[in-house]
Amino acid sequence: MAVANNELEKVIIQSIMEELAKKGLLSQKGKDHVMSAAMMDTPIVPSTDSEEMVTFPPQEEMQVANPFNADAVRAMKKLTPARIGIGRAGTRPKTMSLLRFLADHAVAQDAVFLDVSEEFLQRMNLMSVQSAAASKDEFLQRPDLGRRLSEEAVKTISEKCEKNVQVQILIVDGLSSSSIEANIPDLLPALMQGLKSAGIKVGAPFFIKNGRVWVQDHVASIVNCDVVISLIGERPGLGTAESLSAYMIYRPDSNTVEADRTVISNIHKGGIPPAEAGAHLVDVLQQILAAKASGVKLNQQK
């Protein structure tokens, strides 16, 4: 069965490469490079030669031949990143539509499986700890482990983090490492500066690897903060793999439920811009501190 699957993969790769070559999107040299790698079962290394790069048409470009109402399709495409008006070849998607889908799917998978780089954490001056999930596979298969800290993380936070602050900020990879590296450089400074200007005492932000939303409750029990906010990577989709959410909760305890959390989601360049989100989160945190409540309880006081 493994041999059959391998042969099938080679046939698919050959078919795609031939289509790209026909459309002038891949040189013969590039085709030979990919096919030789496939035949030898070695990783395909992207070429830096621009003529071998696949370039996709703009998402808003009309790809339906002779549409009944072209203006309506164009108007809809401007309002959504959804894959509409992409046309078809018989009963199948067009080659470029399929390749774009595969490329976006690969980006989404990378966002989930890759780690936030050590270079990024050092550049942002973020201390790093880990949840009880020791690996990425364990994190994905055991959500409960991502909701609590490892023993080493508990020890590190207890020793190094300031206690009894008003707000504790957490950076959590969640389901998208890409969202962390794309948004935190603009979001975190705006958030920190805004809280400082408002006279709010903030604990030093730190990073939690393989963390889920509820890990913030464990952190709050250690540092005894009034509010804990987690800036966490959202589950990536084919539209974007860089979306971030901010979960905030006032003094969580053993009776905390999801309705007690206030959430601002869709933070990314195509949604709420990260710098703008930072300023907005300052306002929300001020409301939570004033009301001494978050989630549904906060909304009921408005």
> Is 234 among the annotated ligand-binding positions?
yes
- Name residues of the chain where pLDDT drops below 70: 1-57, 59-60, 302
Same domain, 245 and 156: yes
Q: Edge-to-edge, what's the strand order for the sheet holding 167-172?
A: 127-130, 202-209, 167-172, 227-233, 244-250, 262-267
Instruction: Please answer whether residues 275 and 298 qualify as being in contact, where contact means their C-beta atoms are separated by less than 8 angstroms.
Output: no
What local confidence, expressed as pLDDT, does residue 287 receive? 97
> Is 258 among the annotated ligand-binding positions?
no
Same domain, 95 and 55: yes
Q: Last residue of some domain: 113, 142, 174?
A: 113
Instruction: Please answer whether residues 99 and 16 qualify as being in contact, where contact means their C-beta atoms are separated by less than 8 angstroms.
Output: yes
Same domain, 108 and 161: no
Q: State the Cα–Cα distance between residues 302 and 292, nearest whole angstrom.
A: 13
Q: Which of 118, 214, 253, 226 is nearest to 162 (CA)?
A: 226
Q: What pTM did the predictor assign?
A: 0.76
Distance of CA 165 to the CA centre of its chain: 28
What local confidence, expressed as pLDDT, does residue 135 receive? 93
| Per-residue pLDDT tens over the stretch 110-157 | 878 888 999 999 999 999 999 999 999 999 999 999 999 999 999 999
What local confidence, expressed as pLDDT, does residue 38 receive? 46
Same domain, 95 and 130: no
Q: State the Cα–Cα distance between residues 144 and 154, nearest whole angstrom.
A: 16
Output the domain CATH number for residue 190: 3.40.50.11240
Same domain, 126 and 255: yes
DSSP string, 140-165: HH-HHHHTSB-HHHHHHHHHHSPSS-
| Per-residue pLDDT tens over the stretch 88-99 | 888 888 888 888
Give the domain range for residue 94.
Answer: 2-113
Quote the DSSP letter at residue 258.
G
Same domain, 271 and 125: yes
What local confidence, expressed as pLDDT, does residue 75 receive? 85
